[in-house]
């Protein structure tokens, strides 16, 4: 679905299926999941969808849907800063001043800080595209996910949890964003940049934390479609 086609048909209703397909014999549904969780294992890396709060995730890194100032905001950003404590703002200020030379954080160029008071050990801060003004929202949304994953791999992290980047204040429709996100995540799990399985790098789990049941269902549909279809041609 393109961004423009979604805008013409904003009230698409998705069928929800609890139909966990076998993909090359590697997809599975484990018995340890909450009733609405879905997971699939791709070349040893678990891709998991959950309904939940990103600030509660006990993972190596949570991804913050940040803004260019890197100094906090609403939504995921506000929740992460509140839960992590004031040390996180200090760490972000340090990056703005010392690493970025006072400049804004560019779209889809993630940076990493400690997680401080969060259960997560690190926070990867990434700015997603603003739909309606970004000249390449799909390319930048893909890059936001892929470069955040690459940064996690660079730091030898085993588990990363993402929120639904850009689908809140940044205005992208979740029905448009979910297939882009799921294609990027699954493609990354299938093969890291080197062509090696991503688990060769130590990344064991990529988790999508959806804030509502409706968002979860849209992501579930997108993940199932991607697993059934395979990679997007040229993508």
Query: By CB under 6 A, is residue 168 in contact with ligand AR6?
Result: yes
Query: By CB under 6 A, is residue 169 in contact with ligand AR6?
Result: yes
**195 near 154, Cβ under 8 Å?**
no
Taking the mean position of all CA atoms in its chain, how far away is CA 155?
A: 17
Short-list 162, 76, 157, CA closest to 114: 157
**50 near 209, Cβ under 8 Å?**
yes
Choose the stretch contacting ligand AR6; rule: CB under 6 A; options: 5-13, 52-60, 151-159, 226-234.
52-60
Query: DSSP of 89-157, one letter per residue?
Result: HHHHHHIIIIISTTPPPPTT--EEEE-TTSSSSEEEEEEPP-TTT-S-HHHHHHHHHHHHHHHHHHTT-
**Whole-number CA gyration radius for the chain:** 17
Judged by CB under 6 A, the residue of 116, 145, 170, 176 near ligand AR6 is: 170
Query: By CB under 6 A, is residue 115 in contact with ligand AR6?
Result: no
Query: By CB under 6 A, is residue 219 in contact with ligand AR6?
Result: no
Q: Which is nearer to ligand AR6, 94 or 156 (CB)?
A: 94
Q: Which is nearer to ligand AR6, 207 or 226 (CB)?
A: 207
Query: By CB under 6 A, is residue 203 in contact with ligand AR6?
Result: no
Query: By CB under 6 A, is residue 218 in contact with ligand AR6?
Result: no
Q: How far is the CB of 9 from ligand AR6 (least distance, A)?
A: 20
| Token duo for residue 64 | 């913050």
Judged by CB under 6 A, the residue of 7, 29, 74, 156 near ligand AR6 is: 74
Residues near ligand AR6 (CB under 6 A): 53-55, 65-67, 73-77, 79, 128, 163-170, 209, 211, 215
């Amino acid at each position: 679905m393109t961004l423009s086609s979604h805008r013409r048909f904003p009230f698409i209703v998705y069928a929800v299926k609890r139909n966990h397909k076998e993909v090359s014999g590697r997809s599975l549904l484990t018995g340890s999941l909450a009733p609405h969780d879905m997971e699939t294992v791709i070349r040893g890396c678990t891709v998991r969808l959950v309904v939940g709060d990103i600030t509660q995730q006990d993972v190596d890194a949570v991804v913050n849907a940040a803004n260019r100032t890197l100094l906090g905001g609403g939504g995921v950003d506000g929740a992460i800063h509140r839960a992590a404590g004031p040390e996180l703002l200090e760490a972000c200020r340090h990056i703005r001043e010392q690493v970025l030379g006072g400049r804004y954080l560019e779209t889809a160029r993630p940076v990493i800080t400690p997680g401080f008071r969060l259960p997560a050990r690190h926070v990867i801060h990434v700015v997603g595209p603003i739909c309606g003004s970004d000249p390449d929202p799909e390319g930048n949304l893909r890059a936001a996910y892929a470069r955040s994953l690459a940064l996690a791999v660079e730091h030898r992290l085993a588990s990363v949890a993402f929120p639904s980047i850009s689908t809140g204040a940044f205005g992208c429709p979740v029905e448009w964003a979910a297939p882009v996100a799921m294609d990027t995540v699954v493609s990354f799990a299938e093969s890291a940049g080197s062509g090696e399985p991503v688990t060769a790098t130590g990344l064991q789990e990529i988790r999508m934390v959806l804030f509502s049941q409706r968002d979860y269902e849209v992501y579930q549909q997108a993940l199932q479609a991607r697993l059934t279809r395979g990679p997007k041609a040229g993508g």
